Structure 1
């Protein structure tokens, strides 16, 4: 059952989304998340930058915020790149109720691709190379977020998940844990399916991964 005070905070913020998006113009998108809903946390959107819609999924950034829980703080003015190459400047601000419990987040995304390109030209003229932002998966499907995280790990290791040693597999699962993937309700069966594992096998490996440093076996 939802806390009425949390519902009231979310309801009060909905008109704020439209105001912020209108203030910053068509390059701005504001997204409201209700973490109590699990993976499909998006409850309101104003503007269109990343294609988010109501009922959409958490991004890796949202997962990180959820994982931090009580320790989550404002994450302001970070820069990421979408899969289609656009550069996005974002801020994610956790929402807490009167007891300090984290239950959602307000996210502002601004497409700064054109500004970034202009800056790269100026940097090139000055003899300095551009700084590449990290890629982030903005999607309305939580499975896509999981897939992006797993693909990143597979790319870093240079081989697909089925070909990993047990120690490498535990490292991948540990990385998913560190990114907050397993904080999402019903994440285990989704991840198990993506990794080609049984749920019981994933639970067992997750328990081992949570214990800390791992050795090759």
Structure 2
């Protein structure tokens, strides 16, 4: 473990305060992560509005490792496409923090879950459609996972939140709506719903009763 100078420790403490403020401002759509690049094997120092399922102590990302190896890497890499492990699309920004010696010691990373905004976009498209426009139709084909995820995203967007931030009672209403619309008949529907909501399949079966 690399020992930290007082200056480095002070910078990390200040960065955590910045992260907390940014996270509170953009909750619940934006995950904010503080990475300690002096300890890459367990770099995640703090995580707010947790959307990725990571925890403090998780290792550095590829971008974090790249910063450790190359001090000339751009300090601000903004709005690049990214993806969570479950397939949700993100817009990410990473800000590298250097010490007085010009060495990257930390990074502040922001990951915006685009699924909720894609749901907003879908609702807006429907709202501004003129009479005679053909509405978008969802199909229940064997690969109907996208239809299920889109329906969940729209439901969460109507509550100004994200699928994984839905309260238990809201999840119950949603799953019963999916059942009434026949979307739970799609192959692997329970598994798809559980993954998108970030809950167990047993929970989804319970909501559907």
Q: Please classify the TM superposition score into its range, dividing by the shorter chain length.
A: 0.5 to 0.7
Q: Whole-Å Cα distance in 1 between the matches of residues 120 and 42 of structure 2?
A: 36
* CA deviations over 1:44-81 (Å, ceiling 9, x no partner): 11111112221011122222333322334211111112
Contact 2:75 2:95 in 1 (8 A): yes
Q: Whole-Å Cα distance in 1 between the matches of residues 73 and 87 of structure 2?
A: 32
Q: Whole-Å Cα distance in 1 between the matches of residues 20 and 104 of structure 2?
A: 23
Deviation of 1:15 (Å): 1.9
Q: What does residue 40 of structure 1 align with?
A: 42
Q: Whole-Å Cα distance in 2 between the matches of residues 112 and 27 of structure 1?
A: 8
Q: What does residue 20 of structure 2 align with?
A: 18
Q: How many residues align?
A: 123
Q: Whole-Å Cα distance in 1 between the matches of residues 99 and 111 of structure 2?
A: 24
Pick which of 86-95 and 71-80 moved more. Answer: 71-80
Q: Which runs of no fewer than 5 residues in structure 2 stay unpaired?
A: 126-132, 134-209
Q: Whole-Å Cα distance in 2 between the matches of residues 17 and 71 of structure 1?
A: 21
Alpha-carbon RMSD: 2.1
Q: What does residue 168 of structure 2 align with?
A: none
Contact 1:33 1:104 in 2 (8 A): yes
Contact 2:75 2:97 in 1 (8 A): no
Q: Which runs of 4+ in 1 moved over 4 A?
A: 117-122
SS at match of 1:9: helix
Higher CA-based Rg:
2
Query: Normalising by structure 1, what TM-score?
Result: 0.51
Q: What does residue 110 of structure 2 align with?
A: 108
| 1:89-128 matches, cutoff 5 A | 89-116=91-118
| 1:17-166 matches, cutoff 5 A | 17-116=19-118
Deviation of 1:7 (Å): 0.5
Deviation of 1:88 (Å): 1.1
Q: Whole-Å Cα distance in 1 between the matches of residues 122 and 64 of structure 2?
A: 29
Higher relative contact order (CA 8 A, sep 6+): 1
Contact 1:87 1:116 in 2 (8 A): no
Deviation of 1:43 (Å): 1.0
